[in-house]
Structure 1
C-alpha cells in the first residue's frame, strides 16, 4: 500500500466512522488526508495496517515534543515588517500554492489553478474546476512552474464519486490547457509529479509504473515499472531518481535508491539498504532516508530511527541512529522537523545529531470536538541568504528562527479573518520564501510580507 492508497483508505474509514453522528467532525477525512500529505511524508508498509489505529493514532496525536533544554544564544528580536499586500482569493477552500516569475499560483476545491501578480496580489487569471464533488482529493503541493507553464492537478472524472486525478499543464500566457495525464492512486502529493531536465516524472495511470512526459507536449518519453515496492520521486541535478521501499511484509525487506536515465529511463541502482524506509529529502547530491531502529512494526510508530545518507555520485552509504524519524524540510545540511505541540527541532543532515529544539510560541488552538486534534503551523520556509527559518500559524502570527542556533530573530503578524467556526485542525497554512520576503496562505487569505531582521551587533 503506497501513500496515496493509504490516503484513500483513511478517507474511506473516516467517512464510515459515525456517519449519522452530528457531533462527528465535519470534513475530518479531508482534513486528516491533507495533514498526512502536507506534513507527513512517511510510507507505511503492509496491506493490513490496522487502519483505524493509524487514522486515530499516528496521524492525530501531536506528540509531546518541546524544548530539549538546549540553551539558546542571546539575540535581539525584531518585530518590524512591511506588509506589501493581502488578498482574499475567490472560492472557499485552497490546498496548495507555489511561486513563479513575478507570480503566485494556487489550487483549491473550486479552482484547478489561479494566478496572482506577486507585486500587487491582484488575481490575473483563474481556471475553474469542473463538476466539483465531495469525493475530491486535496492537493498537498503543486509540481511547479517552468517556461511559462503551470503544472497543477484536476479531477479526472469531474463530479464522479471517485473522480481520480489528472496532472494538468496550463499555458500561463494563453490560459489554455496544453495537456493532461491521468495519475494512479489519486495522487496529488509533493512527489506525484517531479520536474527534471526535459520532462516531468509522474505516476502512470497503472500502479507500480512511473512515466516520463515531455514537459511541453505531455508526450510519453518512457515508462519504468517496479514490482513489490512503493517509490517516491525526486530530481537531483536535473536527473530523475526513485527512492523505493517494500510495499508489504511479504516483499523483500530492502530499500533502494535508483537513478533513471533522463533520455531513456534506463535504471541504475545507486544503493540498497536493509528494511523499509521513508524518503526524507535531498541534501545537495545526497538522498536522506529514515528507517526504524527500535523494533517498531510500522514507520508511523514512535521510537528510535536510523538516518541513512546516500551520496548519489559515489553510492556511499552512511547510517546514524536518531531519537525519532526526522521528517521535515531539508535546508543546507539541516533537517527542520516538528517536535509536536508547536515546537521545531533541527537535526544535522550529515549524522542525525540534534542541533537545537525550540518552542515556536505560535497560537495553535485545540479542536473542541476532538482533544487529540489541534491546529498546525506551516512547514519551515527557509531564507538561506539570511539563514532564517520562518513559520506561520492559522491565526496569522509568524516567527523567524536562526537556522543554525534556533534563536528567535523575528516576530510578525498579519491580520486575517480567523473563522469563528470550529477549529480546522489537521490543516496547516502555507509559507514560501519569495524575493527576500515571504508569501503566506491561510485558507482563502494570501499575503506578502517582508520581515525586517535585527542588525548584527558590531
Structure 2
C-alpha cells in the first residue's frame, strides 16, 4: 500500500513478473485485514461513523465492494477466514460478519479474559480452523476458547499453564496463536506449547 493525502493505492502483484501494478485508489486510511478468495479485505479504523466500521473488498481487477458493519466499542483484533470477517472488541465480544451478504452472523462473548490495554496494547488475533468450523481465541493469562464459526456457541475451552507470566510486559508483542492441521500452538516469548482440542466433549 502506498499513497498520500487521504488516498491509498491498492497494489496487485502480476503473476508472471512479480511486479506490482496499481488496480484502484481507495479513500481514507484503509488497512489490510486479510484475503477472502481473490479479494483483498480493507478496513478503515479511523472512519467509523455511528458505530459502523467501513470495509472495502477489492479484487485484482480493481472491482470494489463497500460494506459497513456495526462495532460495539473499540476494536481489539480482526481477522478474515473465507467468507467471514471476525472481530474482537475490547469489551470482550466476538462478532462474525458475512463478506458476501454484509450480514452480522453472530455476536458472542469471546470466552477469555481481555488484557488491560495499559499493559498489553494489542490482543492476540483470532485463529480460524475452517475445516473444524471453529474460531479460537487466546487470552493474556493462557486461557483458550473455541467458538463455532457458524453460530458463535462455545464448543471448547482450555488453559495453557503459563499463569500470570503469560502477560507480556508493557508494549511488548502479544503471545501468538498458530496452528498445524488441527493442533494449536501457543508461542509466548521463548516458550512454545502445543495442544490438540477435543471438540464436542
1:255 aligns with 2:8: yes
How far apart, CA to CA, are the structure 2 residues paired with 1:343 and 1:444? 29
How far apart, CA to CA, are the structure 1 residues paired with 2:174 and 2:119? 10
How far apart, CA to CA, are the structure 2 residues paired with 1:365 and 1:271? 37
How far apart, CA to CA, are the structure 2 residues paired with 1:334 and 1:305? 15
1:283 aligns with 2:36: yes
Query: Residue 127 of structure 1 corresponds to which residue in structure 2?
Result: none
Query: Residue 363 of structure 1 corresponds to which residue in structure 2?
Result: 113
Query: Residue 138 of structure 1 corresponds to which residue in structure 2?
Result: none
- What CA deviation, in whole Å up to 9, does each residue of 1:45-104 have, x standing for no partner? xxxxxxxxxxxxxxxxxxxxxxxxxxxxxxxxxxxxxxxxxxxxxxxxxxxxxxxxxxxx
How far apart, CA to CA, are the structure 2 residues paired with 1:262 and 1:357? 38
More helix by share: 1
Q: Tell me if the contact between 1:255 and 1:275 (Cα under 8 Å) persists in the aligned partners.
A: yes
The structure-2 alpha-carbon separation of the partners of 1:347 and 1:430, relative to structure 1 and needing over 3 Å to count, comes to: same
Q: Which has the higher contact order (CA 8 A, sep 6+)?
A: 1
Query: Residue 308 of structure 1 corresponds to which residue in structure 2?
Result: 56
The structure-2 alpha-carbon separation of the partners of 1:445 and 1:299, relative to structure 1 and needing over 3 Å to count, comes to: farther
Query: Residue 393 of structure 1 corresponds to which residue in structure 2?
Result: 139
Q: Determine which structure has more spread, i.e. the larger CA radius of gyration.
A: 1
How far apart, CA to CA, are the structure 2 residues paired with 1:329 and 1:408? 18
How far apart, CA to CA, are the structure 2 residues paired with 1:397 and 1:329? 19
How far apart, CA to CA, are the structure 1 residues paired with 2:90 and 2:176? 18
The structure-2 alpha-carbon separation of the partners of 1:352 and 1:374, relative to structure 1 and needing over 3 Å to count, comes to: farther
Q: Tell me if the contact between 2:48 and 2:54 (Cα under 8 Å) persists in the aligned partners.
A: no
More strand by share: 2
Give the TM-score of the pair, scaled to structure 1. 0.38
Gaps of 5+ in 1: 1-230, 232-243, 293-297, 367-371
Query: Residue 342 of structure 1 corresponds to which residue in structure 2?
Result: 92
What's the CA shift for 1:384?
1.2
What's the CA shift for 1:262?
4.8
2:113 is paired with a residue whose SS is: coil
What's the CA shift for 1:321?
2.5
Q: Tell me if the contact between 2:80 and 2:86 (Cα under 8 Å) persists in the aligned partners.
A: yes
Q: Tell me if the contact between 2:115 and 2:139 (Cα under 8 Å) persists in the aligned partners.
A: no
Query: Residue 154 of structure 2 corresponds to which residue in structure 1?
Result: 408
What's the CA shift for 1:374?
4.8
How far apart, CA to CA, are the structure 2 residues paired with 1:270 and 1:447? 42
1:424 aligns with 2:177: no
The structure-2 alpha-carbon separation of the partners of 1:289 and 1:364, relative to structure 1 and needing over 3 Å to count, comes to: closer
Gaps of 5+ in 2: none
The structure-2 alpha-carbon separation of the partners of 1:454 and 1:275, relative to structure 1 and needing over 3 Å to count, comes to: same
Q: Tell me if the contact between 1:393 and 1:428 (Cα under 8 Å) persists in the aligned partners.
A: no
2:132 is paired with a residue whose SS is: coil
How far apart, CA to CA, are the structure 1 residues paired with 2:31 and 2:50? 14
How far apart, CA to CA, are the structure 2 residues paired with 1:291 and 1:377? 18
Query: Residue 79 of structure 2 corresponds to which residue in structure 1?
Result: 329
Aligned pairs, number: 196
The structure-2 alpha-carbon separation of the partners of 1:387 and 1:433, relative to structure 1 and needing over 3 Å to count, comes to: same
Alignment of 1:209-288 (within 5 A): 231=1, 244=2, 246-247=3-4, 249=5, 253-264=6-17, 266-288=19-41
Q: Tell me if the contact between 1:278 and 1:299 (Cα under 8 Å) persists in the aligned partners.
A: no
What's the CA shift for 1:423?
6.7
CA root-mean-square deviation: 3.1
